[in-house]
Chain A
């Protein structure tokens, strides 16, 4: 039985026929960054300030990890759950429920495929930002990839929980959006880098996207990596996926 590879192949084929989904998965982070860098004024001025870790950077440099974080959130919390919500709404999941395939494979196939497309999308964005906007390349590429992949898996597991329960695509989108905006706040999208107050920063470090954003920023600028956000991400991942599989609704 090759159910998991078959599901992944099938979903990949469907994705290849859906231009909107391809855009969201592969080009959304790039579009976000280019918009920020090319259209919004003042993003290439040096920040200055007291914090030596950030003083030499321009806003656009800070914005790269943020853009990746936004892409992480939007793909995993809205696109992916609403795809499964749509399957539930249409009765596709009910059809699958009559087979021996089980919810874990359906979810894991989606998690893997979305994870791969997210990493690809992030890579395209980083290359574009470095080449077109002259942004600062990451200090340690491998560390960044590792952190990003972990963050992607973790956020997909959180998305799985919405995917497991939402009755329709719209319903999934609604729930996803609410969580997405909370996550954006804890990820410091409106208060990048040193701008977030320290107590808030510490609390945010325990939330899924906050932990992702903090480790990604640290990895990017070669700052000392704290193990706490990494551990936070690992700890979020497994139980979320487990709960999603256990509470999965076929209809």
Chain B
């Protein structure tokens, strides 16, 4: 059974088509990256697959669960880090984790989790006094505290310092070692290249490419004579080709 299968997903907001036609296939135990320009429909796609919003059309299966009918099971299965979210100002780091841990039957060990996301020393800090990167780390920890089988992380390293990004990469790989499937939305191509087994590129609400990093480089059609094209080169070429195709 695939971890996630999305077919012909469509979601509109009023007249605006946020997602026109997205297909995604994520295997269990994979780290899967979703790339694409701002406003391409990445967040909308993951909101549909986590059951946060209802799509207009399309089929979604998450470990066999349909978000429309098995929402409660889905909530136990999937940890979702929102692109932006807040906690009450006065809530402390340790308290937030304790609270969220109480929502799940088999939560992670909070001390361990604090250690892994590098917030151990900030356990007693109020949410409002955390730096942007620290909030981000807390947000990742909250997505993992329920020991989910799938973690969906939207822009997980945005706002982190270079060391923090590397720490989080390591964290993600460690989490994957435990058998968790990871879907991450990112704008950092080096991150995608370092972490992801497979990727999808979404543009204007459509999946325009899906495959391993080397398959995407191949698919970009870039010549690899003097220098092998990077994933970033490939990404930009694929987006550019899509623009030309759309214009035609």
Q: Which chain A residues have a beta carbon within 8 Å of chain B's beta carbons?
A: 1-3, 5-7, 10, 13-14, 17-18, 87, 90-92, 94-95, 97-102, 250
Chain B residues within an 8 Å CB radius of A14: 88, 90-91
Chain B's interface size range is 20 to 34
A6 touches B90 (CB 8 A): no
A98 touches B86 (CB 8 A): no
A10 touches B50 (CB 8 A): no
Complex-state Cα separation, A18 to B90, whole angstroms: 8
Q: A17-B90, A92-B85 given as contacts; is B79 within 8 A of A98 (CB)? A: yes
B80 touches A98 (CB 8 A): yes
Q: Mostly helix, strand, loop or mixed at chain A's interface? A: helix
Residue from B72, B84, B86, B98 with most neighbouring chain A CB atoms (10 Å): B86
Nearest opposing residue in chain A for B80, CB measure: A98
Complex-state Cα separation, A145 to B13, whole angstroms: 50
Chain A residues within an 8 Å CB radius of B105: 1
**Minimum distance in angstroms from A90 CB to a CB of chain B:** 4
- Of the A-B pairs whose beta carbons lie under 8 Å apart in the complex, a sample of 6, sorted by A's number, is A91-B86, A94-B82, A95-B85, A95-B86, A98-B78, A99-B146
A10 touches B86 (CB 8 A): no
Chain A residues within an 8 Å CB radius of B142: 95
Q: A6-B99, A97-B52, A99-B146 given as contacts; is B84 within 8 A of A91 (CB)? A: yes
Complex-state Cα separation, A14 to B91, whole angstroms: 7
A101 touches B103 (CB 8 A): yes
A10 touches B99 (CB 8 A): yes
Chain B residues within an 8 Å CB radius of A99: 75, 100, 103-104, 146
Complex-state Cα separation, A17 to B79, whole angstroms: 29
